[in-house]
Amino acid sequence: MKKTISVVGLGFIGLPLSLSFCEKGLQVIGIDVDHRKIEQLLQGQTSVHEDYQGETLSSILQRHLQSGRFTPTSSWQDTRASQAFIVTVGIPVSLDGELNTAPLFHAMEDLGQAIKPGDLVLIRSTLVPGMMEKELIPRLKAKSGMEPGVDFHVAYAAERVAEGRAMYEFQTLDIVLGGYTESCAQAAKELLGELTSGQLHITTLSVAEAVKVVENAQRDVNIALAQQLARYSEARNMNVYELIRMANTHPRVHLLEPGIGVGGYCIPNAYHYLNASLDDENAMPLFRLARQINAYVPNYLMDRMAGELTDIGKSIANSHVAVLGLGMKDGSNDTRNSPAVDCTELLISYGAKVKAYDPTVTEMLPYQVESLEECLTGADAILVGTWQPEFSNVDWAKALRQCKPDVVLVDLKDRLTPYVAPYPSEVKNG
C-alpha cells in the first residue's frame, strides 16, 4: 500500500510539493493555518504559478482533489493516517532584519501533538543553522512526550527548488540530508527517494542546515559583484551584459547578471539567517556588504530616473511613472522582497504618481492597474521591473505611443529601448 504523508504549510513550496507526491501515487494531507487558503484549495483554486508538462498547478490540484489523493485541511485531526510529516513553514524576515520564528515554532508544537510512534518528521524549511537541535527537536520532544531518534524519526533536508520550476526540480535536484540519527536519515532518504531521481547526500544536521543558507548567500555575493560591474560599466560607457557574456566565455568564470535588485524569500533572507547563527554580528562583513549593495540598487536606479527627469526639465514629484512587472523575478507572481515593489514605493515616497501593471501578480497592490494601456497613458517615465511572459506578446511600438514623447526609460536589459526613439535633442534641451 502507498504511504500517506502530511505536508505542513501549503505555500509556494508546500502546495507543489504535495501535488508532486500525489503525482507519484501517495496520499497527501496538506495542512495550513490559513483557513481562507484551505477554502480556496478545496475549490481547486491557487495563486501559486507552476506548470508541469503543460498543465497549470490549479489543474493538477483539481485532478488530485478529484482522485482523492490530496486533502487540504486546517485540522490536525485529519493527519492521523500519516506516517510522515514534511514541514515547509518558513521564517519571514522583516525589513529591519528581524526574524519571525513564531509560525514555525507553532507548527512544531502542533506537530508534536500529532505525531505517533514510528512517524517521520522531515523539516524542509530554510532555517537559522543550529535551529534543529536548539529549537525544533526540543519542541517536538516536549509536545509529543516521545524520544526523538528512538520513538520517532526526525531529519532535515532544505528545499532547493526555484519557484516556477518547482515541479520539475522536486524530481531532479540533488538533496542534502541530515538525520538526528542514522536511521532517521535513512527513513527520510526512503521518503525523498519516492520523489526525486537526484542524488541524496547524507551529512550532519548542522551541515545540512548551513548548506542551504550558504548556497543563497553565495548568490547574494555574486549578484552584488555583478551590480558593482554594472556601475563600473556605466562609468566606462560599456554594456555590462556584454562584458559579463564575454567574461563567461572563460571556463572558470561564472558571473551572474545584475538586475534591479534581488528579491524573493530565499536570497535576501540568507544573510539574516547566517548572522542569527553567530554570536558576533560583525563576523561576516563580506556577506553584510553584499546584502547592502543589493538592497541599495532600487534607490540607485530611482535616483537615476529622477536625475534623467530633471535633465529634461521635469521633476519626479510632478511625473507619472509606469512600472511594468512587480514580481520578485521575471515570470513570478510572488512579490515578497520584490525590488520592483521597492522601486515603486520609493517613487511614491518621492511624490511620483505611479501606475504599475503586472498581469501575473493578481493580488492588486494599491498602485496596480488592470491594463497596460492605463499604466502607460501619459507616462513621463517607465521602469521595466520584471518581465512577465505576457509582455513578450505585446506590440510595444504601438503600446508605447501612449506615453509622453520624451519618456524616460529605465530598462536595464534593453527590452523596450529599441521601441523608444531618442527624443530630438533640440526639443529635449529647449
Ligand X SMILES: NC(=O)c1ccc[n+]([C@@H]2O[C@H](COP(=O)([O-])OP(=O)(O)OC[C@H]3O[C@@H](n4cnc5c(N)ncnc54)[C@H](O)[C@@H]3O)[C@@H](O)[C@H]2O)c1
Residues that bind ligand X (CB under 6 A): 8-14, 31-34, 37, 88-90, 103, 106-107, 125-126, 159, 161-163, 264-266
| Of residues 213 and 410, the one with the C-beta less far from ligand X | 213
Query: Shortest Cβ distance from residue 393 to ligand X (Å)?
Result: 26
- Torsion sign (Cα): 340, 342, 345, 350: negative
Q: Report CA 172 to chain centroid distance, whole Å.
A: 19
End-to-end CA distance of the chain: give it in Å, rounded.
Answer: 79
- CB nearer to ligand X: give 72 or 301: 72
The full length of the chain comes to 430
Q: Phi, psi (5° rounding) for residue 217?
A: -65, -35
Q: How far apart are CA 23 and CA 166, in angstroms?
A: 13
Nearest CA to 146 among 177, 107, 179, 120? 120
Least Cβ distance, residue 369 to ligand X (angstroms): 25
User: Please, what is the minimum distance in Å from the beta carbon of residue 354 to ligand X?
Assistant: 26
Nearer to ligand X, 126 or 335 (CB): 126
Distance CA 234, CA 301 (A): 12
Q: Strand, helix or coil at 103?
A: helix
Q: What is the DSSP string of 205-217?
A: HHHHHHHHHHHHH
Q: How far is the CB of 106 from ligand X (least distance, A)?
A: 4
31, three cell numbers = 495542512
State the cell numbers at 65: 482533489
DSSP bridge partners of 368:
356
Residue nearest to ligand X (CB): 11
Catalytic residue among 212, 343, 375, 403: 212
Please say which residue, 37 or 291, places its beta carbon nearer to ligand X. 37
Residue 107 beta carbon to ligand X: minimum distance, rounded to whole angstroms: 4
Sequence letter at residue 420 = V
Establish whether 3 is a catalytic residue.
no
CB 56 within 8 A of CB 19: no
Given the DSSP bridges, would you call strands 51-52 and 55-56 parallel, antiparallel or unpaired? Answer: antiparallel
Q: Are strands 153-156 and 175-179 parallel, antiparallel or unpaired?
A: antiparallel
42: which 3 cell numbers?
478545496
- Separation between Cα atoms, residue 155 and residue 193, nearest integer Å: 14
Quick one: 34 or 190, whose CB is closer to ligand X? Answer: 34
Q: Which of 184, 266, 343, 375 is catalytic?
A: 266
Distance of closest approach, residue 316 Cβ to ligand X, in angstroms: 33
Beta-strand (E) ranges in 25-174?
Answer: 27-31, 51-52, 55-56, 70-73, 84-87, 120-123, 153-156
Which residue lies nearer to ligand X by CB, 82 or 319? 82
* Radius of gyration, CA atoms only, the chain: 24
Shorter beta-carbon distance to ligand X: residue 154 or 161: 161
- Rounded least distance, CB 371 to ligand X, Å: 28
Catalytic residue check, 404: no
Which residues are tagged catalytic?
212, 266
